[in-house]
Every structure is written in structure tokens, then in C-alpha cells.
A and B are shown apart, each in its own frame.
Chain A
Amino acid sequence: MTPAVRHPAEPAATPATTPPTSPARRRRAPKPPSALLSRAGVTAVLALATVYTLAPLTWLLLSSTKSRADLFGTNGFALGEEMHLAENLRHLFSADGGVYLRWLANTVAYAGGGALLAALFGVAAGYAFDKLAFPGKERLFALVLLGVMVPGTALAIPLYLLAAEAGLVNTFWGVFLPGLVFPFGVYLARVFSAAYVPDEVLEAARMDGAGEFRAFCRIGLPMLAPGFVTIFLFQFTQIWNSFFLPLVMLSDQDLYPVNLGLYVWYSSALAQGHPEDYLLAVVGSLVAVAPLIAVFLMLQRFWKSGMTAGAVK
């Protein structure tokens, strides 16, 4: 949670006897238990919802360890007859001349590289909108907000048509360049800059004769580091998620991101009746998702702060 979001609890209103625990626990005294509103009832409902969210992931994990016969022959929420994970992984990384590794590398380049630059450009622009005076500022910002309103998927065909003119169809750049632009990130960066970078500090730097650009690099950017990570994560998920754009832009398998590759494997399994490709898409999905989940668990502080900054303000 960011300082911009957290509303300080009024100390005067807190009874002296309340133990200093988390805000949610502090504010409520134990209630007389009624059927659904009891501790057990509430926890049971949450547990049920958790079963719903975790079951498909459990299925993915278990299925990745099965042989093809077990995939179709055993219960999806139970282990198979034999442990087949190593064979599946070997098959995954050797299929179609090892193209899966290539897809992973592409995805890291599209999503990682793209989001890194998009976050840098977004933070710089948001900082400028917040801290610097220049003519036409609010009108320009309105243009950025317009960009927030145009949905990404609706832009895929326009991007394709322009890329066709520019000769960028079926190239790395056709997918990479659109990822560099993240108008919502600029909006977020402006919010973060107003919250994290005190004007007094900049005034002091100006007094000391630091140029504006230097002040941004030395003071603004370091103070905006948490905002930078948040915007990076947002854009990273967005690019990692994108499917329509690569689907229309790319025909060369070597340029595919993981998403598109898995889709092609899956549809070819269906269309050409290659049952072994069924497993390929399953194991490929697990390998693509596992690191992503790990990153999310490690960086939860940042995605939470970004989500709440965007919504609670």
C-alpha cells in the first residue's frame, strides 16, 4: 500500500485498551456468533473460493507429470500411474527443434525489455506532468488519458495495417514497439510523483543550482523506484498477456511469444489429431506460468500498491 492511499487512523479515536494489531483487527470487537457470520462460516466461504481458484492450477501441475495414457485415463485431480514429468519436459524442450526455449526468450524480450522501457518512459513523463511547468500541459495530459480509454485489443488491427505499410509485419519490432507505450503508467506515475517526491526537496536542489534533468535523475527517479516497479509489473503482465497482436502480426514461428506458440500447438493437436501435442500444451503452460507465479509472490508489495493507487484514490 502506498502512502498516497493509506488513510492514517485517528489516534484519538482508538481506545487505549485496543492492542496495536493490524487495522482490520483493531477496529472490531468479537461478535456473538451467528451461523454464517461466525469465524468458521467466514473461513469456510473463503476456503471454498480458494478451492475454485487453486483447482485448475492443481490440475495443471498434476497433468504435467502424467504420461499421455494417464492424462486421459486417470482422474485429473489425482496422480497418474507413473511419474512422467522428466520425459514431458524433455519432449517440451526438444519439440520442433527446441523452439519452446526460443519462445520463452522472445517473451522475456517482449515483456521484460518492453516493460522496462515503458516504465522508464512512463515515469519520466508522469514526473514531468507532476513537477514541471510547461505550456499546454493539461491538454497533453488529456491526450494521454484518451490513450487510456482506447483498449489495446481494438488497436491490434490498426497497428497491423500501419505496420504493413512500414514493413514491420512479421518482425520483432511489430510486437515490441507497441509494448513500449503505456498511457495508464503515465497516469500512475503522476499520482506516484505527487505522493513520493516532495516539492521542497526539488526546491532545495534548484537552490543548489542543479538542472531540472539532473534533479530528475538524481532525486526524482530514485524516489519513484517503488512506482517504477509497480508500473513495470503492470505493463509486464499486459504484454505477457497479449495474444491478439502477436497473432495478427507474426507468422514466423521463431518470433512467437510463448502464448502464441502454445495456442498453435494446442490447435494443431485438435485439428491434425496429434494427441501427444495435448500434453505439450499442458507442460508448456506449466513451465510458462511457474516463474510468473513465483515473481508475483515475491513482488506482491508492488502489485498491491499499484492496484490500490489506481483504484482507491
Chain B
Amino acid sequence: MATPSTRGQRGAAALLLSPFLVLFAAVTLAPLLHTAWLSLFTTRTSGLGFAGARSVFAGLDNYARALSDPGFRDGFLVVAAYCAVYIPVMIGGALVLALLLDSGLARARSFFQLALFLPHAVPGLIAALIWVYLYTPGLSPVVDLLRSGGIDIGFLSADTAVLSTANIAVWEWTGYNMVIFYAALQAVPRETLDAAKVDGAGALRTALSVKVPMIRPAVALAVLFTVIGSVQLFTEPKVIYSASTAIGSSWTPNMYVQTAAFQNNDFGLAAAASLLIALFAAALSFAVTRISRRGSQS
């Protein structure tokens, strides 16, 4: 039986939740469902094209086409290669920097925190623009500097496309994750650290065997968000794409979707591929959440 107070709570909950839920349904659930529906159809041009295009039910045909298209699958390979470079460098770098800040040996801690975080205040597109300029021979002081040192790297060539893209992301995200790890390190109880010291552990040993394991949940969560972000890789390669011939128009899965939709007008295929990406990202984040939960319980 609902007492007046619980009835009041229900009414207030409906009032407070409805703006979010209505919009959530309109811009998340509805587009996903609508796209799922569209992905089951394909556009056929009948005869010589005089009769115009018709929409034909295709079942799971679009999904099969996307999955069997090497262009789409290669996009995931590019993302995998990108993750293999980017995640260890970025997470490792952030962790080392956070440990150094937390070591008690660093001067000017708040200055370093801010200076290292600053790139994150730069939108991804502008970060990509700046770096593409810094990659461009004839314009870039970095290329000139390396060349005068006898090193000739084409940052925009096919061999380095993954590295050049990963570098932009490392620049943007290392400081951000460092701030998170540093905060987590500061929450490590000092008795634990004292105990390690009493047991004769040096600073390096304490960092590796005590501090890092204790902030594992924070690291796992950072990896999770990084992986989800990487699956969506679009902005940086899109900018490099306009400057380099090494990156094709469907280099990453999201670029594939954009090309399918707006260059080939194949909306059924774009819808199916889009949902596959969303599903893949959701499955990944679910898996990493499970792993991190197990990690923090043990």
C-alpha cells in the first residue's frame, strides 16, 4: 500500500526523471532501433534506373556484406594495431608520471599537473590540425630538426600512419589519465606504505609492488574508456587523411561507415556497420567492466 510519502516520491521521481528519459529515448534508443530496422533493407535500382530506387527487405544481408568486406574488417585491424601502440604507451606513461609526482621527490607538483593536463583542454580536431602541421615537411620544425640530425621520417607515410595517429592521442590523453592515477595514488592508505617501508622496500619496490596493485581499478577503468574511445577512432585520421595519401577513406570502422553512407549512399550497409561498431564497443566495455570488478575484489 502506498503511503502518502511514497506516492509523493513517485510523483517527484517521475518529474525529475522525465526530461532525461524522454530525451534519452529520443536521441539514443529511438535512433538505435530505427537504424536496426533500416539495416534490414537495401536500396535496389530497378531496370535501367528509370523507375528510381526502391527499398527491398534484405534480412541480415547488410550485416553479412559488412562482415565479409575486407575494407570493414581491416578497419578493426587498424584499430587493433593502434591500440597495441597507443594503450601501453599512454597508460604506461600516465602511470610513470603519476608515480613520479607521488614519489615525494618532484618539485612544482601542481605546475606539472596542469602543464601535462593542458592538451586535454584542446579539442581533438584542433589537436589533430596542430599535429598535422607539425608532421608536414617544409612546415614542421620537428621534421627539420630530425632531418638536420640525419633522421628522415615521413610522418604522413603509410608505414607511420598508425604511429602518427597514436601520437596525437598520446598527447591528448596522457595528462588526463595521469591526473586520475595521481588522485588514486594519494588515496592509498599511508599505513600500507609505512608497512612496506618497515619491511625494507625501497621507493621503486613500493611503487611496483604496493602502489600499482592498489590503484588497479583506476587503471582498469582508464583502459576501458581508452578502448571504447579507440573503437570510435575518426577525427584524427580524418584530418590526416586530407593531408596524406597513406590513409584511405575507410581506414577505421567509423570512416568506413561515413564513406558507405555519404559517398556510396548505401545507408543499409552504413546502418548495419554502425550497429556492429556500437555492439562491439558495448561488448568490449562490458568485458572490461567484468575484469576490473574481478580485479578489485581479489
Mark A residues whose CB is within 8 Å of B. 1, 5-7, 9-10, 13-14, 23-28, 31, 37-39, 41-43, 45-47, 49-50, 52-54, 56-57, 59-60, 63, 71-72, 75-77, 120-122, 124-125, 127-129, 132-135, 137, 140, 143-144, 146-162, 165, 177-178, 180-181, 183, 186, 206, 211-213, 215-216, 237, 240-241, 243-244, 247-248, 259, 262-263, 266-267, 270-271, 278, 281-282, 285, 288-289, 292-293, 295-297, 300, 304, 307-308, 310-312
**Minimum C-beta distance from B92 to chain A (A):** 12
Known: A155-B278, A312-B180. A212 touches B187 (CB 8 A): no
Q: Is B95 an interface residue (CB 8 A)?
A: no
Contact A37 B204 (CB under 8 A): yes
A158 touches B34 (CB 8 A): yes
- Is B163 an interface residue, CB under 8 A from the partner? no
| Chain A residues near B258 (CB-CB < 8 A) | 157, 244, 247-248
- B16–A53 CB distance below 8 A: no
Q: Is the CB of B193 within 8 A of A27?
A: yes
| Inter-subunit contact B116/A53 (CB<8 Å) | yes
Q: Contact residue range for chain B?
A: 35 or more
Instruction: Check A24–B257 contact: CB distance below 8 A.
Output: no
Flag if A311 contacts B183 (CB, 8 Å): yes
CB-CB under 8 A from A311, the residues of chain B are: 180, 183-184, 218, 221-222
B66 at the interface (CB under 8 A from A): no
Where the two chains meet, the residues of B that have a C-beta atom closer than 8 Å to any C-beta of A are: 5-6, 8-17, 19-21, 23-24, 26-28, 30-32, 34-35, 38, 93, 96-97, 100-109, 112, 114-127, 129-131, 133-134, 138-142, 144, 171, 174-176, 179-180, 183-184, 186-187, 189-191, 193-194, 202-204, 218, 221-222, 228-229, 231-232, 234-235, 238-239, 242-243, 254, 257-258, 261-262, 267, 270-271, 274-275, 277-278, 281-282, 285-286
Which residues of the partner chain B approach A14 to less than 8 Å between Cβ atoms?
Answer: 190
Q: Which residue of A lies closest to B270 (CB)?
A: A157
The 10 closest A-B pairs by CB, nearest first: A212-B12, A76-B141, A158-B31, A153-B232, A28-B104, A158-B35, A308-B183, A154-B278, A125-B20, A128-B16
Q: Which has the most chain B C-beta neighbours within 10 Å: A72, A216, A243, A247?
A: A243
How many interface contacts (CB-CB < 8 Å) are there between A and B?
330
A155 B242 Cβ-Cβ under 8 A: no
Contact A24 B267 (CB under 8 A): no
Given A37-B203, A42-B106, A46-B101; A259-B20 close (CB under 8 Å): no
In the assembled complex, how far is the CB of residue B205 from the closest CB belonging to chain A, in whole angstroms? Answer: 11
Q: B15 contacts which chain A residues (CB < 8 A)? A: 213
Residues of B within 8 A of A270 (CB): 242-243
Q: List 19 additional A-B contacts (Cβ < 8 Å) besides A124-B20, A161-B31, A212-B9.
A: A24-B101, A46-B116, A49-B97, A49-B112, A53-B116, A57-B130, A59-B134, A128-B12, A132-B9, A134-B10, A154-B278, A159-B27, A162-B31, A248-B261, A263-B129, A278-B139, A295-B121, A308-B184, A311-B184
Q: Which among A56, A211, A293 has the highest number of chain B CB atoms within 10 Å?
A: A56
Contacts of A134 in B (CB 8 A): 9-10, 13-14
Which B residues touch A127, using CB under 8 A? 16
Within the complex, which residue of B12, B34, B106, B218 is in contact with A216, where a contact is CB–CB below 8 Å? B12
Residues of A within 8 A of B10 (CB): 132-135
The distance in angstroms between the C-alpha atoms of A282 and B105, with both chains bound, is 38
A158 touching B271, Cβ below 8 Å? yes
CB-based contact B187/A6 at 8 Å: yes
Supposing A181-B20, A266-B239, A307-B180 touch, asked if A211 and B12 sit within 8 A by C-beta, the answer is yes
CB of A190, distance to nearest CB on chain B (Å): 12
Known A53-B119, A150-B28; judge A37-B103 contact (CB<8 A): yes
A1 to B187 Cα, complex, angstroms:
10
Of listed A28, A127, A304, residue having the most chain B CB within 10 A: A28
A241 to nearest B CB, angstroms? 5
Residue of A nearest to B10 (CB): A134
Task: Looking at the assembled complex, report how far the CB atom of B21 sits from the nearest CB atom of chain A, in whole angstroms.
Answer: 7
Query: A10-B191, A13-B194 known; A24 and B100 CB under 8 Å?
Result: no
A/B interface sample: 26 pairs, CB < 8 A: A10-B189, A14-B190, A43-B105, A45-B96, A46-B101, A59-B133, A72-B139, A125-B20, A128-B12, A132-B9, A132-B13, A146-B282, A154-B254, A157-B257, A157-B270, A159-B27, A162-B35, A177-B23, A177-B26, A181-B24, A212-B8, A247-B258, A262-B129, A289-B121, A289-B122, A297-B114
Q: Are B171 and A56 in contact (CB under 8 A)?
A: yes
Q: In the complex, which residues of chain A have a beta carbon less than 8 angstroms from the beta carbon of B238?
A: 243, 263
Q: Are B133 and A288 in contact (CB under 8 A)?
A: no
Give the interface centre of A13, A43, A152, A181 by most chain B CB atoms within 10 Å. Answer: A181
Q: In the assembled complex, which residues on chain A have CB atoms less than 8 Å from the CB atom of B262? A: 248
Chain A residues lying within 8 Å of B140, measured Cβ to Cβ, are 76
Q: Is B183 within 8 A of A9, CB to CB?
A: no
Q: Which of A27, A77, A289 interacts with B190 by CB under 8 Å?
A: A27
CB pair A24 B123 closer than 8 Å: no
* A residues near B100, Cβ cutoff 8 Å: 42, 45-46
- Rounded to whole angstroms, the CA-CA distance of A297 and B121 in the bound complex is 9
CB distance from B31 to the nearest CB of A (A): 4
Residue of B27, B125, B222 near A263 (CB, 8 A) is: B125
Inter-chain contact B31/A300, CB cutoff 8 Å: no
Chain A residues lying within 8 Å of B103, measured Cβ to Cβ, are: 28, 37, 42
